[in-house]
């Protein structure tokens, strides 16, 4: 009988240890769930780390925005001015490669320009089928005046300037003065001596064609 009593005590002790171990595992699992709830992790980062990253990125964006907007404003004027220069160059090139005549009409009041192929003897009439390109200068690129190489200039009564190109080149040379968004002047120079149209910084001095008696050769 002592052996049976000892066996009963051993079994009771083993059951006690088993219950204690189960309670310990339960407590550990509960503590793990509590820590996961108190300190959630999102995609490998804690919530605090994620907030810090967002704040740093926001500060970086705020610091770069002024420089970015400045670059966009500069490129906007450059793009608009270059589009106008390309239109002028298109007229000269197309006329040189054919027997057709082309005209670029600059409207200072409307701040716009039109490229057309001249097909009618009446130069004052612009037919719809003649129009190749029509465009606006835009808010960041404004034309303020046009000066031809015969000293004819646009004024309050003459707000339309016309540059005509034929197979031999431009009928008249001149300059178209533009202002950027900072009101800095740029000149689109048209030379009747060649077909190149150039954009230059500033209100440049216009080279006048020489008379025949001024040419030495």
Domain residue limits, the chain: 1-38, 64-214
pLDDT digits (tens, 9 = 90+) for 96-127: 998 899 999 999 999 999 999 999 888 788 88
Alpha-carbon distance of 42 to 51, in angstroms, equals: 11
Cβ-proximal residues to 149 (8 Å cutoff; 6+ apart), any chain = 172, 173, 174, 192, 206, 207, 208, 209
Fold that domain 64-214 belongs to in CATH: minor pseudopilin epsh fold (3.55.40)
pLDDT digits (tens, 9 = 90+) for 16-37: 555 554 455 445 454 554 454 4
Q: pLDDT confidence of 209, banded at 50, 70, 90?
A: low
Is a pLDDT exceeding 60 seen at residue 174?
yes
In this structure, the number of other CB atoms found within 10 A of the CB of residue 212 comes to 5
- Looking at per-residue pLDDT, the higher value among 158 and 25 belongs to 158
Average pLDDT, the chain: 78
Chain center to CA of 160? 29
Q: Measured at the alpha carbon of residue 177, what is the angle toward residues 176 and 181, in degrees to the nearest 5?
A: 135
CB distance 105 to 167 below 8 Å: no
Per mean pLDDT, which of 74-88, 104-118, 142-156, 203-217 is the most reliable? 104-118
Is a pLDDT exceeding 50 seen at residue 214?
no
Q: Is the pTM of this model over 0.95?
A: no
In this structure, the number of other CB atoms found within 10 A of the CB of residue 196 comes to 11
pLDDT digits (tens, 9 = 90+) for 38-72: 444 445 568 787 788 787 887 776 776 655 555 55
Alpha-carbon distance of 199 to 187, in angstroms, equals: 6
């Amino acid at each position: 009988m002592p052996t049976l009593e000892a066996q009963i005590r051993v079994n009771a002790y083993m059951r006690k240890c088993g219950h204690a171990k189960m309670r310990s595992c339960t407590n550990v699992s509960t503590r793990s769930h509590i820590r996961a709830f108190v300190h959630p992790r999102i995609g490998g980062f804690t919530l605090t780390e994620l907030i810090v990253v967002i704040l740093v990125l926001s500060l970086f964006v705020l610091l770069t925005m002024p420089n970015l907007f400045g670059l966009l404003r500069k490129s906007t004027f450059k793009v608009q001015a270059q589009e106008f220069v390309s239109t002028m160059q298109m007229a000269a090139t197309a006329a040189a490669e054919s027997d057709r005549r082309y005209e670029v009409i600059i409207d200072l009041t409307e701040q716009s320009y039109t490229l057309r192929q001249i097909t009618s003897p009446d130069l004052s009439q612009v037919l719809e089928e003649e129009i190749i390109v029509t465009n606006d200068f835009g808010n960041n690129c404004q034309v303020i005046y046009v000066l031809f190489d015969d000293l004819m200039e646009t004024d309050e009564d003459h707000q339309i300037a016309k540059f005509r190109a034929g197979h031999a080149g431009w009928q008249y040379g001149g300059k178209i003065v533009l202002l950027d968004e900072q009101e800095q002047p740029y000149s689109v120079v048209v030379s009747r001596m060649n077909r190149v149209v150039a954009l230059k910084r500033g209100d440049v001095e216009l080279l006048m064609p020489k008379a025949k008696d001024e040419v030495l050769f």
